[in-house]
């Protein structure tokens, strides 16, 4: 059982002490204060209401590139995508969350998993669908960030075709095929063609 280190961020020092006590009782969780000897793997951020000052703090913490467990009374649905961009992977209602819920969320976040109420997940799916319909589709891009032409090229790459074979199959010049591959790997920060194919497969577009 690997140990999980968690940094607690709370404006109220009494709440911070309480959360430290709760998490510290779990044999798999170690609360840490930074700077310290052990770097945190997860951030537990708690707030009553996510006021602009709290959102700004989350934006700043996003630079740490750590998963964030959010414990709050409420948050605006319009802020959902912004919170996810800030690294929030678990949404917990401060009024109803139990100690067990809290520890499970921290451990899940450290393992790369997320915790989201059904209502929040439903709203997120609606926002993603709206973005696909209103923003990406008019630009000819799918939810994975790939255009139909890029998908066509990657499908042939996945089949083992080289540049000349792809160009012949799609009636493109070889320079166009190379440009398509260069553009998508650069935009999506992918290492090479193999990485690009793996990305497309995970996104479910191949």
Regions of the chain where pLDDT drops below 70: 1, 34-37, 77-78, 118-144
Q: Which alpha helices (DSSP H) does the chain contain, by range?
A: 13-24, 52-61, 80-85, 99-110, 118-131, 148-158, 163-170, 174-187, 193-203
Name the residue among 52, 89, 53 with its Cα closest to residue 71: 89
Residue 36: predicted pLDDT: 59
Q: What angle do CA 63, 70, 39 make, to 5 degrees?
A: 45
The CA angle 151-163-161, to the nearest 5 degrees, is 70
Please state the domain extents for the chain: 4-127, 140-203
* 151 contact partners, CB below 8 Å, separation of at least 6: 142, 200, 205, 206
* 3-state helix vs strand vs coil in the chain, percent to 5: 55, 15, 30
The total number of residues written for the chain in this structure:
206
CATH topology of domain 4-127: Rossmann fold (3.40.50)
Q: Is cis: bond before 35, omega within 30 of 0?
A: yes
pLDDT of residue 39: 87
Instruction: Give the pLDDT score at 147.
Output: 84
- Tell me the pLDDT tens digit for each residue of 3-46: 999 999 998 999 999 999 999 999 999 999 865 567 899 999 99
- The whole-number pLDDT of residue 167 equals 94
- Would you state the pLDDT for residue 175? 94
Amino acid 165: pLDDT:
93
Please tell me the predicted confidence (pLDDT) of residue 30.
94
**The CATH classification of domain 140-203, taken from the options 1.10.150.250, 1.10.10.60, 1.10.10.10, 1.10.3720.10:** 1.10.10.10
Cα(60)–Cα(58) distance, rounded to whole angstroms? 5
Q: 204 Cβ partners below 8 Å, 6+ apart?
A: 144
Please report the pLDDT score of residue 187 as a whole number: 87
pLDDT of residue 105: 94
């Amino acid at each position: 059982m690997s140990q999980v280190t968690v940094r607690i961020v709370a404006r109220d020092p009494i709440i911070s002490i309480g959360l430290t006590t709760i998490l510290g009782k779990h044999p798999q969780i170690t609360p840490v204060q930074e700077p310290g000897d052990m770097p945190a793997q997860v951030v537990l951020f708690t707030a009553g209401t996510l006021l602009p000052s709290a959102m700004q703090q989350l934006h700043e913490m996003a630079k740490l590139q750590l998963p964030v467990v959010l414990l709050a009374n409420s948050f605006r649905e319009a802020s959902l995508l912004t919170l996810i961009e800030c690294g929030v992977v678990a949404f917990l209602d401060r009024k109803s969350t139990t100690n067990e819920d809290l520890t499970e969320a921290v451990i899940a976040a450290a393992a790369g998993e997320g915790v989201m109420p059904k209502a929040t997940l439903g709203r997120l799916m609606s926002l993603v669908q709206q973005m696909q319909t209103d923003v990406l589709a008019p630009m000819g891009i799918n939810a994975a960030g790939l255009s139909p032409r890029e998908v066509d090229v990657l499908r042939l790459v996945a089949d083992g075709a080289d540049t000349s074979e792809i160009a012949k199959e799609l009636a493109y010049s070889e320079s166009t095929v190379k440009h398509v591959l260069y553009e998508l790997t650069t935009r999506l920060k992918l290492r090479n063609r193999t990485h690009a194919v793996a990305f497309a497969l995970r996104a479910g577009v191949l």
